[in-house]
Amino acid sequence: MALSGCATCPPTTVYKLATANEVSGVSSHTDWENRTVLVIEPDIRLVINTCWENGLCVTASLPEGRRMRFTSNEFVEVDEGSGRVINTHRPSLISYTYSCETRRKEPISCSSSDEPPTTEEVRITSVSNAAHNDWKYRSFMKVFATTAEFVGASDSETRDTIVRGQRNYRMAVFSEGRRGAKPYLVRMPAILIDGKPSALPDIRITEAVEPVCRYRAY
């Protein structure tokens, strides 16, 4: 059966991200979803993206057994022209999720390990449940402190992973950006990879008005 519809492309405010400087040992690119991908090593990445309407989120992905830590929880907004500090954000938590399902006469199957990824306190912030006949499903979100060292883990649910098969660790830096502002920078804290320091580039945030197309079927 054929489907038909129409597309509308009204002008919409969008927020573009890009690295503002080069850092030795770190390469970057912007993907089709307007996410800035920082490649620390071939299989260790940080992804910077807009979240909510114009907030900023960071997602870390690293192989099982490798360790990462942010040296600070300070993300500093800076006016690009003058270098003046505009604001400092101090996110307190990193989150990750995994899910488990059971079927009658079959062992429980989980997308990732239940072992805590850090020696710091880990706590559950949400659990979602679903069930149908002999099938049961539970999804967990857990959090720990932003500056805690954490370890990479495998993840069998790959539709939303940044590096296929690796668990994502997410941090919301801020949920509301600076509307109507000139391009500005966000200075990232350094990270430690297996105890080895690595600086991160500044992220430039630019506001623009562009046509954004939405398709409606009928």
Is the pTM value of this prediction over 0.75? yes
**pLDDT tens over the chain, length 218 residues:** 455 556 678 777 778 899 999 999 999 998 888 899 999 999 999 999 999 878 899 999 999 999 999 999 999 999 998 999 999 999 999 999 988 888 887 888 888 888 999 999 999 998 888 877 888 888 999 999 999 999 999 998 655 666 778 999 999 999 887 777 788 999 999 999 999 999 999 999 988 777 767 666 55
Strand ranges inside the chain, DSSP E: 5-8, 11-19, 27-30, 36-41, 44-51, 55-61, 67-70, 75-79, 85-89, 93-103, 109-110, 123-132, 135-145, 150-151, 168-174, 184-187, 191-193, 196-198, 203-211, 214-217
